[in-house]
Amino acid sequence: MASILRIIAQRLALGIVTLFVVSIVIFAAVNLLPGDFAQLILGQGATPEAVEAIRQDLGLDQPPITRYFQWLAGAVQGDLGNSFAQANFASFAGTDVGTGQGSVAAQIAPRFENTMFLAGVTAVIAVPISITLGVLAALYRNSAFDRTANILTLSSISSPEFFLAYILILFLAVLNPILPSLSNIYDGMELSDRFIKTLLPALTLTLVVTAHMMRMTRAAIINLLASPYIEMARLKGISPMRVIVKHALPNALAPIINVIALNLAYLITGVVVVEVVFVYPGIGQLFVDSVKIRDIPVVQACCLIFAAAYILLNLTADILSIISNPRLRHPK
């Protein structure tokens, strides 16, 4: 138990250091974006004095290193600052940083909830399908089913997300109006209506992530089928399906957990294109809109949340793999 806790502490420390390094990269990259927000909201005819006044009010006149540590200190305390886009109505009116409608956290919270709902629906659909297809492909290896499943999953993963999205819109919303093409969800919406409007983007993401999980499940099980204990189980007359599900699958959990966690991380961080196509009000759509208007605090916050979610799920996968594999818990 002590060794597991030590490993978990080491992984968490590594995750915190990684997130700190990523925050530096995020801040540097965002501040290298072309354009000036102050110039953007005032227009090309603005005087230099007016532009400089807004830059001072927004804190953009301070050195980058000072702004970075101010942003980092606020983020550690849960204060992501105020949105520049709301500055005319909130910050300039005397609203405290981190409160009111101008707060970045207030803008992100409902969008992040929507993204998590989309990721959850996708995971509920994709994970069982992927594991089932992987088990069946391993059971009927080199059969017509195995080849067909591999061709279809590889085709889906090789296609751009927006292409898959438009194909699904064409067949499920235009030619056969089964599902709505736009995911215009809102607060207070009935869960059933929300699920229906989320289903089309969830199916798009399912097509994207299923291939990874299915192929990893198949490969992990096939690698174990040559093991002596599997041969012994076969010699005892146990059915092939029972051999795979009862004996091979539990011992293949480590790589399967890893690939599932990585794809769950993708469902949170890689939804930008899908959310834009379906006009889904998630954090990816907010990120794109904020980049367009150079709303630096919102862009930085979205990037930091994406990075934190990805690192956290990778750490979770790493820890679960170690716990499920005694050889990793005791490397000596």
pLDDT in tens, 278-294: 999 999 999 988 888 87
DSSP state of 243: I
What pLDDT, on a 0 to 100 scale, did the predictor assign at position 228? Answer: 84
Residue 171: is its pLDDT beyond 70? yes
What pLDDT, on a 0 to 100 scale, did the predictor assign at position 222? Answer: 85
Q: What is the mean pLDDT of residues 24-39?
A: 79
Report how far residue 259's alpha carbon sits from residue 237's, in angstroms, rounded to the nearest whole number.
Answer: 32
Between 308 and 83, the higher pLDDT residue: 308
Positions of CATH 1.10.3720.10 in the chain? 115-281
Residue 323: is its pLDDT beyond 80? no
Contact 76, 19 (CB under 8 A): no
Residue 189: is its pLDDT beyond 90? no
pTM for the whole structure: 0.82
User: Average per-residue pLDDT in the chain?
Assistant: 82
pLDDT band at 235 (very low <50, low <70, confident <90, very high): confident
DSSP result, 41-109: HH-TT--HHHHHHHHHHHTTTS-HHHHHHHHHHHHHTT---B-STTTTTTGGGTPPTT-STTBHHHHHH
Among 8-22, 103-117, 220-234, the least confident range = 220-234
Count the Cβ atoms, other than its own, within 10 Å of residue 327. Answer: 8
What pLDDT, on a 0 to 100 scale, did the predictor assign at position 92? Answer: 39
Report how far residue 232's alpha carbon sits from residue 228's, in angstroms, rounded to the nearest whole number.
Answer: 6
Fold of 115-281: MetI-like fold (1.10.3720)
